[in-house]
Structure 1
Amino acid sequence: MNSPNRRTAFTLVELLVVIAIIGVLVGLLLPAVQAAREAARRMSCSNNFKQIGLGYHNYHSAFNSLPMQSGGTWLKNVTSNATNRSFISTLVMITPFVEQQALWQAISQGDVTYGAMGPPPWDTNFEPWVTELATLRCPSDPGKGLPARARSNYAVCQGDHMRLVNSGGRNHRGWYQSTDDDNAQITGNATTDDSTTAVRARQTNRGMFWARHFTKFSSVIDGLSNTIMAGEVCTGIGQREIQADNVYNVADALVKDASISVKTCLDQIDPQRPAFIRVGVAVGGDVTNTIGRGHMWADGRLQYTGFQTILPPNKPSCFRGTDASQGMSTAGSRHQGGAHVLMGDGAVKFITDSIEAGDLSLTPTPGGGSPYGLWGSLGTRGSNEVVGEF
């Protein structure tokens, strides 16, 4: 006998089971895909840093010194912006060593309006200052476009102190100037040196880079492999994040002539939302939109292309005034759990947020090791600290 015809098809239950299984598999797969994407971005970021490290080493080979942070041409005419007034970052100086020869020529030759090395880095009429470079951006950082002029996620290490670090002790005419506590006369107009300021600046500028001064690898007596040359910084997306927004107009206790107060900066954190800055505290966008963290790659001030090894990565950055003032810039990144640093020997390492940071209630003293533990020790060039594995 012929067997009866039988329909072959999925039942509704079977179809729902298959859909459920596919949904579970997709749910398991997506985190792995996201993790793989972030791993690729982190590797690209590390490669950018290695390229920048080669740029610094090649510059040193060519000129027998590191490029000057907040360097360039000194102000001659007090009323003129025809020069860059010694506000140029080290990143400008290494452009010919990171495959940016055309941009370097445009900067070094100037144009019909501005002379060689261009105007101050906040002058948006000078095209190079608003040209963003892929080499200076971490792919994990989502910040882009206005109000920034041209962003950077890489900053040089300027030690473990706040006092006289943003200016290096010198005004924009090249003289050591007797200071006030807010801006350390970074834009002062004295034409003679104040010896007290010169001595104090030498004591407090303990990093591989010293603003408005040249440093050399030979001055890094702690060893290049034990000293941080540069580190990552975040740029803001307008959300008042502690690792991506500068806090401005902080209490005077933050930086005094004889002491600094890290707690004053930590007090700016919202206790209810510890990843964010307290409501009512002024950040970059509340003061002037353009003075956000990392918003000008060509500017040598701490707020844009410098940091100190005081607070561990991804903690707040605070200043007594705005972007010409004294304060503290902190390393940070969008990578989970820490940030990359570039060591003096060119090695790129990942530093976790939990790195040992010593006693934050203390102030560094001349001739003493950093009070900020392993993190602080890595940021000083000549304090003779013993640095183990990290």
Structure 2
Amino acid sequence: MERFRNRKQGFTLVELLVVIAIIGVLVGLLLPAVQAAREAARRMSCSNNVKQIGLGIHNYHSAYNKLPGYRTGTTDGATWPPGYSDNCNLYNLNPLVGILPFLEQQALWERIANPSVENSNGTTRAATDPWPAMGPTVDGNDQYLPWVTEIQTFRCPSDPGVGAPAYGRTNYAACLGDSYGQPNGEFVWWHTEDRLDNQSWVVNGRAGDRGMFFARRQTAFRDCLDGLANTVMYGEITTDLGDNDKRTHAAVHQINGASALEHNPLSCRDGLDPERPQFWDQAVSFTTWGGEARLRRGAQWASSFDIMGGFHTVLAPNSEICTDAGAGDWGGVMTARGNYGASSRHQGGVHVLMGDGAVKFVTDSIEAGNSSAGNVTPTANNAGYPSPYGLWGALGTRASKEIPDMSDF
């Protein structure tokens, strides 16, 4: 009896293994729940960012009675063809620039609105040669400090994109409507007055720009005849990770000429990897010129190249993006046709900002009509046609007299 009481107490090896196995099972069961909770928190934070952008836009409109401009800014009247300029931004500023003072970014706005000599690398320019008010060209400039400043409100926490070739990324873009066939504000890059007065370009451009935002002209809430609650104003885009993701790297399609993409939004789909349809096949060609940043989604927050700061309500969210800009074509990147959709790192859809400031989550399965047919180049001869892209297309237009059933999403 004494010998039994003096025996050391402890776990046997079998007992320890059983306990470890139970702990492992519990961790395995809890880990997905923890990950889901984290993503839910990130998704809520993203939704809040979209809401803040909406409040900034509404406050801007209250102050100026119009929306912030898309592809607005300054020009020196001399840089032609369009390219890089230290003297002006060549009418290429994003609406996000205009709303900075309404997003508690007054300090950054002051740097942009006034001449400065500070460079992003800590050096300074000569006092006789400062950066101009409203900054130099966004594209191709990594020395101007505001353009490389990443703003937390403009980033979705679910998007892991960082670093080169992008700088100053953004995950939020302006809605350009359901038409990409008439490049958004195509004529505006012809900066001399005689070109701006070319009536056919102007009229056709106006007919083709059906979204809440379009180039070089500032809309107002009064222009939204379909109702602010029925019209998408801003939405999510993913930034590129350098992995040939179909949503962030635009494939080039010119097999049958430029009109192939113009009349067929699905014309690039045969370039997807059949084994991994989220990515492009290795044989697909991409436009390159002066580096990759200009052709990667969301790479420059202050730029209003359509691939940087705009999206179309043509293909459903998280579909492939496509362009007919030729390799080496800088001007083509600005004015060529490009079908750029909304996208996100969230599971199953994207956040969008409605004109009335409401934030909604649109699923990838939203009814998007017949994407393989229909003329997507409205001109003065066929303006006002109903969107061929179903509910999604109707939500992207501000004055097409299509009132969507909001209970459908």
Q: Work out whether residues 260 and 267 of structure 2, in 8 Å CA contact, stay in contact via their aligned partners in 1.
A: no
Which residue does the alignment assign to 2:238?
Answer: 234
**Deviation (angstroms), 1:253:** 5.1
**Deviation (angstroms), 1:67:** 1.0
2:17 partner amino acid: L
Comparing 252-261 and 60-69, the one that deviates more: 252-261
Distance 2:261 2:167 in 1: 36
Which residue does the alignment assign to 1:357?
Answer: 368
CA-to-aligned-CA distance 1:45-69 (integer Å, 9 cap, x gap): 1111111100100111111110110
The 3-state SS of whatever aligns with 1:170 is helix
The 3-state SS of whatever aligns with 1:72 is coil
- Once the two structures are superposed, the pairs formed by residues 266-345 of structure 1 within 5 Å of their partners are 266-283=269-286, 288-291=291-294, 292-321=296-325, 323-324=333-334, 325-345=336-356
**Deviation (angstroms), 1:165:** 3.1
Which residue does the alignment assign to 2:103?
Answer: 98
2:375 partner amino acid: T
**Deviation (angstroms), 1:142:** 0.5
Comparing 193-202 and 335-344, the one that deviates more: 193-202
Q: Work out whether residues 245 and 284 of structure 1, in 8 Å CA contact, stay in contact via their aligned partners in 2.
A: no
Q: Work out whether residues 227 and 398 of structure 2, in 8 Å CA contact, stay in contact via their aligned partners in 1.
A: yes
Distance 1:227 1:254 in 2: 33
Matched, 1:4 2:4: yes
Segments of structure 1 that go 5 or more residues without pairing to the other structure are 176-189
The 3-state SS of whatever aligns with 2:188 is coil
- CA gap of 1:77–1:222, structure 2 versus 1, over 3 A, is same
- CA gap of 1:254–1:309, structure 2 versus 1, over 3 A, is farther
- CA gap of 1:254–1:67, structure 2 versus 1, over 3 A, is farther
Percent of aligned pairs with the same residue? 48
Which residue does the alignment assign to 1:156?
Answer: 174
Q: Work out whether residues 312 and 340 of structure 2, in 8 Å CA contact, stay in contact via their aligned partners in 1.
A: yes
**Deviation (angstroms), 1:109:** 0.7
**Deviation (angstroms), 1:363:** 2.4
Distance 1:371 1:133 in 2: 36
The 3-state SS of whatever aligns with 1:4 is helix
CA-to-aligned-CA distance 1:84-120 (integer Å, 9 cap, x gap): 1101110111111111101111111122423211111
Q: Work out whether residues 162 and 255 of structure 1, in 8 Å CA contact, stay in contact via their aligned partners in 2.
A: no
RMSD value, Cα = 2.1
2:337 partner amino acid: Q
Q: Work out whether residues 308 and 331 of structure 1, in 8 Å CA contact, stay in contact via their aligned partners in 2.
A: yes
Distance 1:159 1:316 in 2: 17
CA-to-aligned-CA distance 1:275-317 (integer Å, 9 cap, x gap): 1012121346798222211101111111100000001111111
Q: 2:397 aligns with which of 375, 380, 384?
A: 380
- CA gap of 1:2–1:327, structure 2 versus 1, over 3 A, is closer
- CA gap of 1:276–1:285, structure 2 versus 1, over 3 A, is farther
CA-to-aligned-CA distance 1:222-251 (integer Å, 9 cap, x gap): 11011000110001111111122222x321
Q: Work out whether residues 254 and 327 of structure 1, in 8 Å CA contact, stay in contact via their aligned partners in 2.
A: no
TM-score (norm: length of structure 2): 0.87
CA-to-aligned-CA distance 1:165-215 (integer Å, 9 cap, x gap): 33343225265xxxxxxxxxxxxxx64522111121111110000111111
**Deviation (angstroms), 1:125:** 2.4
Segments of structure 2 that go 5 or more residues without pairing to the other structure are 117-128, 326-331
Query: How many equivalent pairs are there?
Result: 375
Distance 1:255 1:373 in 2: 25
- CA gap of 1:332–1:192, structure 2 versus 1, over 3 A, is closer
Q: Work out whether residues 190 and 196 of structure 2, in 8 Å CA contact, stay in contact via their aligned partners in 1.
A: no
The 3-state SS of whatever aligns with 1:339 is strand
CA-to-aligned-CA distance 1:254-288 (integer Å, 9 cap, x gap): 85399521121322322221110121213467982
